[in-house]
Structure 1
Amino acid sequence: MSDKRVTMKDIAKEAGVSTATVSYVLNYSEKEKISHETRMHIFEVANKLKYVPNMNAKTLASQRSYLVGIIINMEGRNKKSKIYQYYDLSREIQRNLYPKGYDVVLLPAKEMEKDIVIGQKRSLDAVFIFDMDEERLKTIANRFYVPAIFIEGYVEDPIFCKILTDYEKVLQIAEKQLGNSFYVVMEDHFNKNVYETISKRIPPKDIFVNRYDSSLIQFLREHHNQKGLVIGELLGMQVENYADNRNISVVVNSEKDIMLLPDTKVIIVSNKKKAEKAVEIMDRLLRLDNTNEVERVTYIRPEWRDN
């Protein structure tokens, strides 16, 4: 398909779904109920086939391409529970960009050098970059001469804008919900600051990092009848299968459509707020609107609901 423009029909054939389903997913329509697994599969196929929306009309009418890239670290250590969070955040960003006339291209980076070169060939107005280590963040940022906004990734250089979860506040809320002693179950973040912040409060033996070589079941057995903070809704659903849900609090990314048991305590770190802030910063940087006054570090503060 390298000599032929990839269409939604091509994606539908490869994914084994209808063209209408592909259209609903890629246009982020909420009119039809489509499972998260199907959405993720369609996004993955679209990226595999290097699908690019038709932006010719918009580009001719403006010097901008009206195309924004989202770079997602897809290395092998990222498990599906974490990738789900990436796609949910991508969807929220797209929802904020669509009324402004922008389309989004997902750039999942498995082979960093190769995949970023592909992104460079597209005329992007800005890029959002999810959870990468500082060395790679710098490498990527130096490849793009457009605003680069990091979400859940930290780089010391003050020229770059970062949007981060306020994990210190998350731990404070967890103390109110669970008491002074609790374990933590979390994803394997490339941003080392996340683990460092948590480990200042929680002993390493009480922190489970969701890697392929680690056993969540074994960890929960070792912490039987203890209280725990779980960061991530899909991880929370897994923990509910092996621990008393009354003893856990789960960090989720939306106050709506929560998939956990009704009486599980939750802490909300809104992907909607992350997306709104990211697009607001992008707008100001593109307009060159007092760029020196644009916040370089924005912390998204959590909210909580005690069921």
Structure 2
Amino acid sequence: MATLKDIAQKAGVSTSTVSRVLNYDASLSVGEETKKKIFEVAEELEYKSKKRVTKKMKGKLAIVNWYSEAEELQDVYYMSIRLGAEKRAKALGYDYYRVYKQNDFIEETDLGGILAIGKFSQNQVKQLQSHKVPLCFVDYLPQEEVDSVVVNFKKAMRRNVDYLLEKGHTKIGFIGGEESFSDGTGQWVDPREKFVRDYLKRKKLYHETYFFKGAFRVEDGKRNMLRALETLEEENRPTAFIAANDAIAIGCLKALYEKNVKVPEDISIIGFNDISTAKYITPALTTEKVYTEEMGMSGINLLQERIEEGRDVSKTVILSTKRIEREST
């Protein structure tokens, strides 16, 4: 595992700066470029080196991100997917360029394929399809017949509920997120919330007042945990919360620390994604690991099959997850 010192040395900053950035310290005054460098180095040091394969260039790949560069720093999940995709593209001999939120023009000249990372509306999907090149979505399954790489959310969320039940928790809450498509045509509905809700109903343990929702950001996780502490009486509040992502979970931990609520003695927290910062938070975050590097690599592999092998049947890759148990449960 990479240490804070390793990250600091490669990023060219102090160890204390790395620690405060990875802990989302709002009082730290550093530039966005410095933050971006630290997050990218932290993600890169998690990757295992892979043998490079030299391939003849088949045109450029456009890596389209539904997040802006600034939003990537609030939730490095998508940055991790992007870095995995870029590493795989480079290893296969493809040139690539980044497009953020479809605000940048996708170059038509020598365009070999498009990798779309994140959530896209039907209109945006059609717009991407209009380029008439191989197209793959990562972390999203459109209604259209296209290639995609997704996570088995249902299995993961049921496993987390069962894990908490085994630890003796019967009052389980959920803090989720909601996001809108960047073109303003609607909202993306997170299946994790539905799967937790349905599974708790099956177990006859569901309480509507235990569910909260905001954005997929640290500050919203903190805000919703504070709401839970304020609106639910101590004897009736959940003894464990599942967060829809690690950024939300980190915000929850900050709120609990602020209110002197002990973790995991009073309330346990489980995150989702296992972003590189999860292990550096205090207490270290128990979370469901999503193999983000593999997601990005799989997306590039699907594009390669289309470009070099001529595959014309749509394919969906579903990746499993793994719980990483640390100090927050």
Q: Where on the TM-score scale, by shorter chain, does this alignment land: which range?
A: 0.5 to 0.7
Give, in angstroms, the shift of residue 156 of structure 1: 1.6
The answer on 1:156 being equivalent to 2:169 is no
Q: State the Cα deviation string for residues 240-269 of structure 1 (Å, max 9, x = none).
A: 112344201111245897333355322111
Partner of 1:145: 132
Give, in angstroms, the shift of residue 124 of structure 1: 2.5
Select which of 287, 291, 303 maps to 2:322.
303
The answer on 1:275 being equivalent to 2:275 is no
Give, in angstroms, the shift of residue 91 of structure 1: 0.9
Give, in angstroms, the shift of residue 287 of structure 1: 1.6
Partner of 1:19: none
Partner of 1:135: 122
The answer on 1:230 being equivalent to 2:230 is no
Contact 2:158–2:199 at 8 Å: present in 1 too? Answer: no
Q: The residue matched to 1:241 in structure 2 has which SS?
A: helix
Partner of 1:185: 175
User: Which amino acid in the other structure matches residue 114 of structure 2?
Assistant: V
Q: The residue matched to 1:144 in structure 2 has which SS?
A: coil
Please tell me the root mean square deviation across aligned C-alpha atoms, in Å: 3.7
Larger RCO of the pair (alpha carbons < 8 Å, separation 6+): 2
Q: State the Cα deviation string for residues 157-199 of structure 1 (Å, max 9, x = none).
A: 22x0121121111211211322254222233245425254454
Partner of 1:240: 253
State the percentage of identical aligned residues.
6
Partner of 2:214: 209
Give, in angstroms, the shift of residue 107 of structure 1: 0.8
The answer on 1:100 being equivalent to 2:92 is yes
Give the 3 Å change call, closer, same or farther, for CA 289–255 of structure 1 in structure 2.
farther
Q: State the Cα deviation string for residues 66-87 of structure 1 (Å, max 9, x = none).
A: x221212247xx68523x2222
Q: State the Cα deviation string for residues 100-150 of structure 1 (Å, max 9, x = none).
A: 1223322112xx5xx36x114453221111222442342333332111111
Partner of 2:161: 175
CA distance in 1, matches of 2:307, 2:72: 34
* Residues paired across the two proteins, number: 252
Partner of 1:7: none
Partner of 2:306: 285
The answer on 1:264 being equivalent to 2:254 is no
> For structure 1, which segment, 210-219 or 85-94, has the greater mean C-alpha deviation from structure 2 after superposition?
210-219
Gaps of at least 5 residues in structure 2 are 1-6, 13-17, 22-31, 38-54, 181-187, 201-206, 257-261
Q: What aligned pairs does 1:85-124 form with structure 2 within 5 A after superposition? A: 85-109=77-101, 112=102, 115=103, 118-124=105-111
Give, in angstroms, the shift of residue 98 of structure 1: 1.4
CA distance in 1, matches of 2:190, 2:292: 19
